[in-house]
A = this chain, B = another copy of it.
């Protein structure tokens, strides 16, 4: 038998998330994580086979934080809204991780469990099979797409820019060619991301309700 392990995978996971939250995604290097754990870079390869595996761990650490109610007395659409907003909030709490959440596949039990909870709730609308699949596609696309907009949408303010500068940038566009773009850029300054997400989600849920089986 060998010597006892110096770390656990969970320790790497937590340290990696802390590193990304603090220093951004570019701060997550094998060497930086190793030095945070006060060891050599090569030691990490006893726990993960590649840097990409580290990135999966970070994604799973974030998505694993989602908590939701499981109150079956709630109407399905209210329960669905709760899970979707819980997911969105957790993602938004870790803005530096968003690129990884969007691009890395995650397959941890925790992620499967939120997914199943969301599906279960959606199934209470009377959906199954292909219709359940489509409902799931729509809801999860809306959540992920909202996270994407947070990161790199047209209305997102740049790193080097104040909100006033963002709106000024849009108002500098030719108003005859981009009237609606200017209009929503203005509207965006009087709004906030969660309000907008909730309202978008409501639109989709209205569509889901209209198409639900009679039992809903």
Q: When each residue 137-169 of chain A gets 1 if its CB lies under 8 Å from chain B and 0 otherwise, what string results? A: 110111111101101111010100000000000
A135 proximity list for chain B (CB < 8 A):
203
Secondary structure dominating the interface of A: helix
| Interface residue range, chain A | 35 or more
State whether B102 touches A133 (Cβ < 8 A): no
Cα of A156 to Cα of B132 in the assembled complex, Å: 17
Which listed residue, B141, B179, B186, B202, touches A141 by the CB 8 Å rule?
B141
Which listed residue, B142, B173, B196, touches A142 by the CB 8 Å rule?
B142
A186 proximity list for chain B (CB < 8 A):
129
- Which of A15-23, A34-42, A103-111 forms contacts with chain B? A103-111
A199 interfacial by beta-carbon distance below 8 Å: yes
Given A144-B149, A145-B140, check contact A184 B103 (CB 8 Å): no
Q: Which residues of A approach B to under 8 Å, CB–CB?
A: 99, 102-107, 111-113, 115-116, 119-120, 122-123, 128-130, 132-138, 140-146, 148-149, 151-154, 156, 158, 173, 177-181, 183-184, 186-188, 190-191, 196-197, 199-208, 210-211
